[in-house]
Amino acid sequence: MIQNGRGCILLVEDDPNDVLLIQRAFRNAKIINPIHTVGDGDAAVAYLAGTGDYADRAEHPLPVMLLLDLKLPRRSGHEVLAWLRQQPGIKRMPVVILTSSKETLDINRAYDLGANSYLVKPVAFDDLMHLVRTLDLYWCLYNERPDLNHGKGASAPPP
């Protein structure tokens, strides 16, 4: 059923409990896509840009989908999203917001900045498992992936 084993998912989440629970939910849902995790906004930007600790793309490959929390240390999820949408090539990456906030302000801002989906973390674990299964099914299986490298060199803004 899972056909895209190579595509990894980048989870940006600072709460280790949530990381554990989400990983368990993925595991229980039998999703084989590898999950890479970073704990703050700066790390997320570094990973996506392939700089610093994340320069090695073999070890830290570009994800097919970004699971982004909003309340993050150093750089908020909104800021990471705004930065990403400015980057050549990778700006096409599907971004799903996974957060605990149900505030209209947060939701609207996320969509304004170009989020592809907005999900609220459920409290019940069963719900979480159900959610990640659907998520993977939709974004990693059915959804056509964009080419994140095309136009990267040509349209890259001068550093």
Partner 1 sequence: MRAMPGLAARIYVLILVALLPAMALALYTGVEQRRWAARDAQTDAMRVVDLMADQEERLIAGARQLLEQLAAEPAVQRHTDAGCDEYLAGLLPELPSYLNFGVLRVPDGFITCSALPMDRPVYSPDRLWFREAVRTKDFAVGEYQIGRITKRSSVNFGYPIFGPGGQVAAVVFSAFDISWFLDATRAAQLPPGSTLTVFDHQGVVLARHPEDAALVGQEVDEAPLSQAVVGSTEGATAEATGLDGVRRLYAYRPLRHAGGGAPVYVAVGIPASIAYAQANRILVRNLLLLALVGVAAGVLAWLGGHLFIVRQVQQLVGAARRLAAGDLDARTGLPHTRGELGALAASFDDMARAVQTREAETRAAQAALATLNAELEQRVADRTHALEEVNAELDRFAYTVSHDLRAPLRAMHGFSQALVEDYGDRLEPTAREYATRVAQAAQRMDTLIQDLLAYSRVCRAEVEVAPLSLAGAVDEARTQVAADLAARQAEVRIHPALPMAVGHRAMLVQVVANLLTNGAKFVAPGVTPCLEIGAEVRNGAVRLWVQDNGIGIAREHQERIFAPFERLHSVEQFTGTGMGLAIVRRAVERMGGRVGVESEVGRGSRFWCELPTGEGG
Residue count, binding to partner 1 (CB under 8 A): 22
The CA distance from 149 to 85, in Å, is 14
How would you list the strands of the sheet with 35-38, edge to edge? Answer: 35-38, 9-12, 65-68, 95-99, 117-120
The CA distance from 62 to 12, in Å, is 14
Which of positions 94-123 make contact with partner 1 (CB under 8 A)? Answer: 99-106, 121-123
Q: Is 154 a binder of partner 1 (CB under 8 A)?
A: no
Which of positions 42-71 make contact with partner 1 (CB under 8 A)? Answer: 70-71
Question: Which of 15/42 has CB closer to partner 1?
Answer: 15
Q: Is 76 a binder of partner 1 (CB under 8 A)?
A: no
The CA distance from 142 to 10, in Å, is 18
Q: Is 24 a binder of partner 1 (CB under 8 A)?
A: yes
Beta strands in the chain (DSSP E): 9-12, 35-38, 65-68, 95-99, 117-120
The residue count for the chain? 159
The stretch among 37-45, 50-58, 93-101, 135-143 that binds partner 1 (CB under 8 A) is 93-101
Question: Which of 46/119 has CB closer to partner 1?
Answer: 119
Residues forming the site for partner 1 (CB under 8 A): 15, 17-18, 21, 24, 70-71, 99-106, 121-126, 128
